[in-house]
Chains A and B, each alone.
Chain A
Amino acid sequence: MPKQNYISAHCVITNNTVYKNGQALFQFTEKDLSSYLIAAYRHFDGQYPKFFKMDNLSRTGWLACEVLLQDSFDKAAYKPEDIGIVLSNANSSLDTDIKYFETTKTMASPAQFVYTLPNIVIGEISIRHQFKGENAFFIFDQFDAAFIQQYVSNLLDNDILQCCICGWVDVLDDACNGSLFLIEREKSANSTIFTEENLNNIYQLQNG
């Protein structure tokens, strides 16, 4: 019989709203993505100056993870190497690739260049929280709950990880979508079973 894992918490950042466990915590009406993410960072009392240096993909993932773990995660219960991150998106780092390419026409920006890979967002989250477990970043046309469920379950069921942050972090132009799930092996008060259907339900509910 397959082992059971649980979605302990989830955070979804849409183009104008930040949700935690289905509850809207922050809304922003302006279209500029940078301003939105910085306003959200300040709203959630981010104390991490490097946030401002990140590209919008890393900002979205970093912020979603911050909200996801706040009051929902007992980091001390795990060893750093037992906490992993598995993310996916459709546009890779294209948003920053384009911005970086523009800078090469005059003076190539080293600060932009370092974000021209999608998995840098995993690095930023790992540095922030000192996570050292298995990580991976996949590119799909759209959020693939079946793949994420199977891949993360495999990591947990084979004792490669004890806990995993997984989901979808995508940015292009002024559109963003950060949908992160905290997956643990132990059931907690408000957790739901880690299934493809539950992942999709949560994702669809906030992303429409």
Chain B
Amino acid sequence: MDKLISDLKTQIIAQLNLQDTKPEDIGDDQPLFVEGLGLDSIDALELIVLLQQNYKIKLSNAEDGPKVFKTVKTMAEYITAYQAQNS
């Protein structure tokens, strides 16, 4: 899980062009949106693309978005659960 969280942080920075942010600046439990990393609705779409491109995961239910993309940790947990279910 730690490796996945670390990879996700690097991928998020690259995908969202967060050039002044380093992986260590993003806390595992730090909210990604609004008061945390300050991501917006376009970033949310980019995170969906990130899941699809890097993990072959299609978020089928849009209502899952806020739960899945709450923090880097919740993203990692979702990916891990998905991969366990589909392996």
Contact A52/B18 with A107-B53, A109-B49 known, Cβ cut-off 8 Å? yes
How extensive is the interface on chain B, given as a class? 10 to 19
Do B20 and A52 touch across chains, with their CB atoms under 8 A apart? yes
Judge if A111 is at the interface, Cβ distance under 8 Å.
yes
Judge if B52 is at the interface, Cβ distance under 8 Å.
yes
Do B18 and A109 touch across chains, with their CB atoms under 8 A apart? no
Q: State which of A38, A52, A107 has its C-beta within 8 Å of the C-beta of B52.
A: A107
Do B46 and A111 touch across chains, with their CB atoms under 8 A apart? yes
Proximity bits, A44-85, B CB within 8 Å = 1, else 0: 000001001100000000000000000000000000000000
- Residues from chain A with Cβ under 8 Å of B53 in the complex: 106-107
Q: Which residue of B lies closest to A110 (CB)?
A: B45
- Residues from chain A with Cβ under 8 Å of B43 in the complex: 111
CA distance A114 to B18 in the complex (A): 17
- Residues from chain B with Cβ under 8 Å of A106 in the complex: 53
CA distance A52 to B16 in the complex (A): 9
Judge if B87 is at the interface, Cβ distance under 8 Å.
no
Do B20 and A109 touch across chains, with their CB atoms under 8 A apart? no
Q: State which of B17, B18, B38, B49 has its C-beta within 8 Å of the C-beta of A110.
A: B49
Q: Which 6 A-B pairs have the closest CB atoms?
A: A110-B45, A52-B19, A52-B17, A53-B17, A111-B46, A107-B49
The interface of chain A, by Cβ under 8 A from chain B, is 38, 49, 52-53, 106-111, 114
